[in-house]
Amino acid sequence: IARGLYTLVNTHHDDWLDGSTDTAAFEAELPRLTAIWSQVAARFSPKSDLLAFEIYNEPHYNMTTAWLNAMNSAVLPVLRATNPTRNILLGGLKFMNPTWIASHPDDMVFPSN
């Protein structure tokens, strides 16, 4: 960032989240992800728009669309609370494969903020 480079911070391959075996297990881990992002967002809140966040890179394993939407809905307000204009990437399932998004255009819920 200090050298003018765009930088992306994400959570990546956190098997404790997308490796959950059922909805109860996923929901039990969601506060952990939210807490991580709360700390990251607070730490980097004054950084310029050269910094972007990606809530979860390459969701795979057992991640479902419902879990993905729940995760984005839980984390996005945490990020917006520290910097309402921060660029945030939201991707689909199957390792964020563009063909998944193209073939499931109505499955993801994109928050208005």
pLDDT digits (tens, 9 = 90+) for 46-83: 999 999 999 998 887 788 899 999 999 999 999 999 99
Provide the residue ranges of all domains of the chain, joining segments of one domain with +.
Answer: 7-103
pLDDT at 47 (0 to 100): 95
- Whether the CB-CB separation of 30 and 76 falls below 8 Å is answered with no
Quote the pLDDT of residue 92: 83
Burial degree of 70 (CB within 10 A; 0-12, 13-18, 19+):
middle
Residue 30 has a pLDDT of: 93
In angstroms, the CA 58 to CA 61 distance is 10
Q: Does pTM top 0.85 for this prediction? A: yes
